[in-house]
Amino acid sequence: MKIAMVGSGYVGLVSGACFADFGHDVVCIDKDQSKIDRLHEGVMPIYEPGLDALVESNVKAGRLSFTTSLAEGIKDAAAIFIAVGTPSRRGDGHADLSFVYAVAEEVGESLANDAVVVTKSTVPVGTGDEVERILKDSGTTHKFSVVSNPEFLREGAAIGDFKHPDRIVIGAEDDFGRDVMHEVYRPLFLNESPILFTERRTSELIKYAANAFLATKITFINEMADLCEKVGANVQDVSRGIGMDNRIGSKFLHAGPGYGGSCFPKDTLALLKTAEDYDSPTRIVEAVVKTNESRKRAMGRKVLDALGGAENARGKKAALLGLTFKPNTDDMRDSPAIAVAQTLTDAGVIVSAYDPEGMEIAKPLMPDVTMCDNPYTAIEGADVVTIVTEWDAFRALDLNRVKELVAAPVMIDLRNIYNPEDMRSAGFTYASIGRN
């Protein structure tokens, strides 16, 4: 089956490469000529473990190709995926759908055969209806069906998530849409990955409900962590203790500095906007958004406290280990590290940092922070070392070397990757999240 993937960013490229790996004939399309040129040279536009090898092997096998021409790319495709960005619109948080609608218009003008048009971009309820209207208005004479097929990929684990999904959600309104999507996902269906067919609007909402629920789970455990610190309990044991209840589940119960990334912050805001538009308030999600935002700044204050408070911190040195919103990505979007660095530099603290992949993107976001080549250079002379992102590289630091290099052996571990007992016996003043 021929599949066209319009948009060769994170979602489009990972999905396109994985579909090709299943044996489909995939064309990834993008307007950005330099991105397509680089893909032809085997250079990935994003950092995602395993993606370069997957792209290379499928290009070699002749199943994956790239083009800037939408008309050429969608020719003969049975399924045309729209996988372009839906960033938060300035001002009201609503998802900006201009890229999605522009693609729909171009698809309508260029359609040369019957096809199913699939929104893979995260889009608010009703977007599929609008895409359908645009295609109808284009006057195309070919049969088409508009389907919703949200993605549930985690950055850093996207290929595994695509190939072994918990579920595939497909929102289709007719048999043509359902049949073609069944064929698209047949290789996974054979692996017994559950496929849930729903109406289109339901499928669109499932994506937002899933992300909002996960963001809620994280925010809940973060608040429990704060309470643990006050009452002298251990949040990791609380997570285990509640997570063993199958009704709750153990995943997404790691307390930390607050969620970031390209999805949870944007999608929770977009859900709030939809809820407002339909006069159906989602107060829990409202609270989650506010709580998470203030948490990121609170993490900066936690570091300041270790320096004797904001009034005593000026001129002191802080090192940040990890800047990206999570490990195994170079994505800095809404990373808690931004708020932490800002709080520190605002208080006159001299900040140095190291991140295995994110420093180039981080630089303009935190211009007053000195980026270093490795963790040990970053911590030289530091009065406090803060682990912001749990990269594997920080899990086994040479603690003796750290102690020799810092000005004071004070560590704040915002991801709970070290054992408090071990750190204290190694001679560190150590603070983590919810485990005092």
Work out whether 391 is an interface residue with ligand UGA (CB under 6 A).
Answer: no
Task: Count CB atoms within 10 A of the CB of residue 382.
Answer: 24
The answer to whether the beta carbons of residues 108 and 138 sit under 8 Å apart is yes
Which position's Cβ is nearest ligand UGA? 263
d(CA 65, CA 72): 12
Segment contacting ligand UGA (CB under 6 A): 82-90, 147-155, 176-184, 307-315? Answer: 147-155
User: Is residue 428 near ligand UGA by the rule CB under 6 A?
Assistant: no
Q: Does 260 bind ligand UGA (CB under 6 A)?
A: yes
- As measured in angstroms, the least distance from the Cβ of 224 to ligand UGA is 12
- Is residue 325 involved in binding ligand UGA (CB under 6 A)? yes
307 interacts with ligand UGA by CB under 6 A: no
Figure out which of the listed residues 171, 256, 358, 434 binds ligand UGA, where binding follows CB under 6 A: 256
Segment lying near ligand UGA (by CB under 6 A), choices 25-33, 145-153, 269-277, 394-402: 145-153
Cβ neighbours for 74, distance < 8 A, ≥ 6 positions apart: 4, 6, 27, 29, 80, 107, 110, 111, 112, 115
Six token digits for residue 313: 């911190």
Spatial distance between the Cα atoms of 353 and 369, rounded to a whole number of angstroms = 7
> What does the block give as tokens for 315?
């001129």
- Interface residue with ligand UGA, options 177, 326, 371, 410 (CB under 6 A): 326
Enzyme catalytic residues: 263
Site size with ligand UGA, rule: CB under 6 A: 21
Choose between 27 and 221: whose C-beta lies nearer to ligand UGA. Answer: 221
Residue 253 is a binding residue for ligand UGA (CB under 6 A): yes
18 binds ligand UGA (CB under 6 A): no
**CA separation for the pair 312, 303 (Å, rounded):** 12
Of 30, 48, 106, 151, the one binding ligand UGA by CB under 6 A: 151
Q: Would you give the DSSP letter of residue 49?
A: T
Does 263 engage in binding with ligand UGA (CB under 6 A)? yes
- Among 7, 124, 171, 261, interactor with ligand UGA by CB under 6 A: 261
Count how many Cα atoms sit within 13 Å of the Cα of residue 305 in the half-sphere of its side chain.
11
Q: Two tokens at 354?
A: 């190291």
Handedness of CA 128, 130, 136, 139 (dihedral sign): negative
At 60, list the tokens: 């070699």
Rule CB under 6 A: choose which of 22, 185, 208, 264 binds ligand UGA.
Answer: 264
Q: Sign of the CA dihedral 274, 276, 280, 285?
A: positive
Contact of 306 with 337, CB cutoff 8 Å: no
Q: Binding of ligand UGA at residue 47 (CB under 6 A)?
A: no
Positions touching ligand UGA (CB under 6 A) are 122, 151-155, 211, 214, 218, 252-254, 256, 259-261, 263-264, 267, 325-326
